[in-house]
Chains A and B, each alone.
Chain A
């Protein structure tokens, strides 16, 4: 013991060590071993004759001397107190010093009571405890001093010593100035930035509440809904999980027992509104809380309601409140943009995570969830007057969906993610199903989730209906979501989801901000879709403003017109949806189920492999699909709102995905980085309005910010013409960013069915683009991706279905498309995960890639079709695609990675092309987009897609043809993979 102490105390001192043979080594004593082996650093053998010192070459890094070889070691000039923690001279009375001196002899110190003596007045102490006032009033001080000490203060409240008093007069000049000052003050105080800053200052939320949106929801729910008990941060995640599990479990359990169908039934039971509402509520609380915090008004209340309200209750309450509180939503729109983004971000992250968790299956489920989220958000807004509640509910739904998905997926490899998701999603989950059960039986849960996803879709559809009703609210929610998304972007999965949401949110936000009037007029339903589309356009415009002003303008204008159109359509759809929400949902659910099951299967495999972000991405598309399916009739409304939201979510997720992928794949790929960054930046930087755009932008941006912006603009423009068009932008952006986003976009464009396909397509296209890019770089990778997509199963199965459906969808959309979308989503998620996992699931990755590539291509195509530039992009995609098919098969993981990197750039190009095409699509609005989507979807399946694409293309002469060519190539390629 003492030896250890002594030796330790001389560590770092120079020593001379004499060994048996008499030679002496000098070095710095480094350490010692249990057998008293000694280690000298920088040791050299000391020569007998004194020299100036060792030469560099004489010094050995370190030498270990065995104790048996050592004769004597001399440490010279050791300061025994050097390493003493407490110097007895200086710190005699610190706890450390006191205990340090009795080290090893633990003797209880005799404590002596302190006697303050009689001099202390107990009054003073008591007064301290009872005195609630915040110190003394200055006047009291002056008075006290005057009375007690006779000191007169010279304080002058006018501070005439330091400043001059304002001389007021009635002169015209003065009044003029006064009025001017008042006006300025009013302007400043009315500005959003001022309010935001004031809100920051007066924000009563703790930093944790502010910056841990995910956890916060849980906490809020806890405090608000259940108990006012403080939950330590460390336990919040768990609790959320438990909550989610508990909540979700109950729902899920019921559903779970039934199986996938069971969960879905739940939503059905809810009916669109109820289901969405509940979901919204669940998800809402967390998001809402942030918003509420920001905006004390309605936000806080809604959150509390949401949190407090049980899922079911919430649903009801939300619905009614949602509509009424249109005013609050507006507020939210401005400020919420950021808030919403934050909230959405939380949701998104969850969803992404879920997706990732789910892997392929999660992807499918996740896709649905995003859609659901969007739908929910839309629905919630519509239903619930309080935007927050609306938002929350949508997010909640999405979250729930995602959560479920995530839970399911978690088993594979995303446990961490799942956890995080669970924590955040817990609320959502609680709404959707029992999260706890999910975690335990991840696979089962996954299956359930898949079912849920299907259900979700249904819900989403219902939600969308609700959303349609309260478009304004949804919009706000979306805006919030986008904000959240940016925040969450960090998590790839989260990002994807966020992107989807963000897109939706952004769209909504944009709608709310720019379109506020329209939304109001349209009634929330149509407006929301329109708003969504506009928002994307707005986002695009913003981005474009950065990148290309002209584009942005165009997009904005287009979006505006489109919004109107969309609104009308949406309204019609909404009405239909409202009326037939239950029935449509049921129908939709079935299709979705079909499609989803497959995705789920594929997703599950990916899950392990799949990364959170990828999985997330995938899920959104699925959700989108599901929603679209539900709303085939509703298309405009549901697709748009869901699509938008989902896109946002996707985008966010996408960035993550892209980042992860891009980073790993190609370090040099700046585009990806940029995109990611841009995504992140955009969400935070751009509030609600910007968010939508930003959300998409981020995705796009991920590939290339500038491009993304342009793309966005283009896509928005295209979309603007019709709701579908708007969705398209989202899709494009999403697709570019993330597969899921693409998917969503497609769904939006097409309407639910189409969406599903589009989403698939978009995802595939995005991947393809990347692949194509990669293809350019290396054909091999591309092919691999394609094959993989097929391998992903989900996508493929879906694709086949989608292909069939797509055609039908293109025409009608509806269920078939939904089926397709789910598959795509699943595939995309899987793909993403795969990408990340790369080596782990080459096949899955390939599939994912395929999915992604396909969506990008579609986007590209659309862009191309729209404008000559698009054409150029198109060719590239085509060539890449063509090359891809063969190449892709050959190249597996690597290609994917490469593709990602390439994809970004390609995507950017593609996006641009899409933008252009998007312009064209605007003409074609619905049809073109669907075609696009179809094309994409068809492309992957192969033959079926081709036809579809063609059909779609037909509507769009130039663009379509170009697209077709591309698509055709892609399709052929795709088919081969499949």
Chain B
């Protein structure tokens, strides 16, 4: 698999484009190909536009109608780096917990703002969880709906003040984001009006 042949195999590093049975056109750099399962792995630029990240696409060639090799790469692929499996397993676990936590919050009827705030806090402080509609940070600070700075309650101390800062910044960023979006929307509207 690592040694692709010219015809049958995809050589690692080559760029291919394919069209799935569901009508998706996918394009990217071949990272790996498993002949037996006919699974092709492509790496493409991140959909979110972050430079140091990729999107990895796993394609089952059994459901692909066209495969076009855009350019082939003859260089030997770079060696594989050893992976920290425990780190990966840990990531899988935390991701799962986060998702379940989020689902819990959604099920509890937490507002979108509350969920966003939770995500923001969670980025900084891992020790936060939902308790009904309240966000519990470090078992110390309780943020109850509507999740404003004044809703942060707990023992006066650095923890509370720290959480308040985070909440404050979160809404400030949210505001700026909204304003930007608004301006962008206005811009687009203008463009559209202009174009129209």
Contacts and interface: CB of A to CB of B under 8 A. Distances in A.
A95 interface: no
Nearest to B63: A71
Interface in B1-54: 1-2, 12, 20-22, 24, 26, 31-34, 36-37, 39, 41, 46-48, 50, 52-54
Interface in A25-62: 27-30, 35-36, 38, 41-42, 44, 52-59
A680 B129 CA distance: 44
Contact of A104 (B21, B39, B80, B100): B80
Interface residues of A, number: 60
10 contacts: A11-B88, A14-B95, A20-B63, A28-B95, A52-B106, A59-B103, A70-B58, A72-B58, A77-B50, A100-B82
Interface string A67-86: 11011111111111111111
Given A3-B39, A83-B84, A12 B95 contact: yes
B69 interface: no
Interface string B62-105: 11000000000000010111111101111111111001101110
B107 interface: yes
A75 B106 contact: no
B37 A56 contact: no
Interface of B: 1-2, 12, 20-22, 24, 26, 31-34, 36-37, 39, 41, 46-48, 50, 52-60, 62-63, 77, 79-85, 87-96, 99-100, 102-104, 106-107, 112, 115
Contact of A72 (B20, B50, B104): B20
A77 B46 contact: yes
Contact of A6 (B56, B59, B60): B56
B82 A85 contact: yes
B22 A71 contact: yes
B24 A72 contact: yes
Contacts of A100: 81-82
A461 to B, nearest CB: 62
Given A10-B56, A41-B96, A55-B107, A67 B39 contact: yes
Contacts of A20: 21, 63
A58 B53 contact: no
A71 B20 contact: yes
Given A103-B82, A104-B79, A1 B1 contact: yes
Contact of A58 (B82, B92, B103): B103
Mostly, the A contact residues are mixed
A5 B32 contact: yes
Contacts of B104: 56
B73 to A, nearest CB: 14
Contact of A79 (B2, B41, B52, B112): B52
B34 A54 contact: no
Contacts of B48: 76-77
Contact of A103 (B24, B41, B79): B79
Given A2-B32, A102-B79, A41 B92 contact: yes
A28 B34 CA distance: 22
B81 A84 contact: yes
Nearest to B93: A12
Contacts of B62: 68
A105 interface: yes
Given A85-B81, A102-B79, A103-B80, 7 more contacts: A5-B32, A6-B32, A30-B96, A36-B34, A70-B60, A77-B53, A86-B81
A6 B63 contact: no
A84 to B, nearest CB: 5
- The interface centre, meaning the residue of B54, B55, B59, B88 with most chain A CB atoms within 10 A of its CB, is B88
Nearest to B78: A101
- The interface centre, meaning the residue of B46, B59, B81 with most chain A CB atoms within 10 A of its CB, is B81
B83 to A, nearest CB: 4
Contact of B83 (A54, A72, A77, A84): A84
A59 B96 CA distance: 10
Given A56-B107, A75-B55, A79-B53, A18 B32 contact: no
A165 interface: no
B79 A3 contact: no
A8 B83 contact: yes
Given A1-B1, A59-B100, A100-B82, A83 B39 contact: no
A104 B80 CA distance: 8
A78 B47 CA distance: 10
A52 B115 CA distance: 9
Contacts of B84: 83-85
Given A11-B92, A55-B106, A84-B84, A105 B1 contact: no
Interface in A941-967: none
A223 interface: no
Given A77-B55, A78-B54, A71 B32 contact: no
Contacts of A44: 103
A172 B32 CA distance: 95
A22 interface: yes
B41 A6 contact: yes
B80 A56 contact: no
A59 B58 contact: no
B115 to A, nearest CB: 7
A876 B82 CA distance: 71
A2 to B, nearest CB: 4
A549 interface: no
A82 B81 contact: no
B59 A72 contact: yes
Contacts of A84: 81-84
A521 interface: no
B39 to A, nearest CB: 5
Contacts of B58: 7, 38, 70, 72-75
Interface string A544-584: 00000000000000000000000000000000000000000
B55 to A, nearest CB: 5
B112 to A, nearest CB: 6
Instruction: Give 4 closest A-B pairs by Cβ, nearest first.
Output: A12-B91, A12-B92, A36-B37, A2-B32
A77 B47 contact: yes
B88 A9 contact: yes
Given A52-B106, A59-B99, A103 B32 contact: no
Contacts of B106: 52-56
Contacts of A29: 92
Contacts of A82: 87-88, 91
B91 A73 contact: no
A101 B81 CA distance: 6
A18 B22 contact: yes
A13 interface: yes
Nearest to B18: A72
A88 B79 CA distance: 13
Contact of A78 (B36, B53, B87, B99): B53
Given A11-B92, A77-B48, A82-B87, A3 B32 contact: yes
A36 B41 CA distance: 12
Nearest to A9: B83
B81 A103 contact: yes
A55 B103 contact: yes
A83 B85 CA distance: 7
A67 B37 contact: yes
Contact of B31 (A6, A35, A72): A6
Contacts of A5: 32, 80, 83
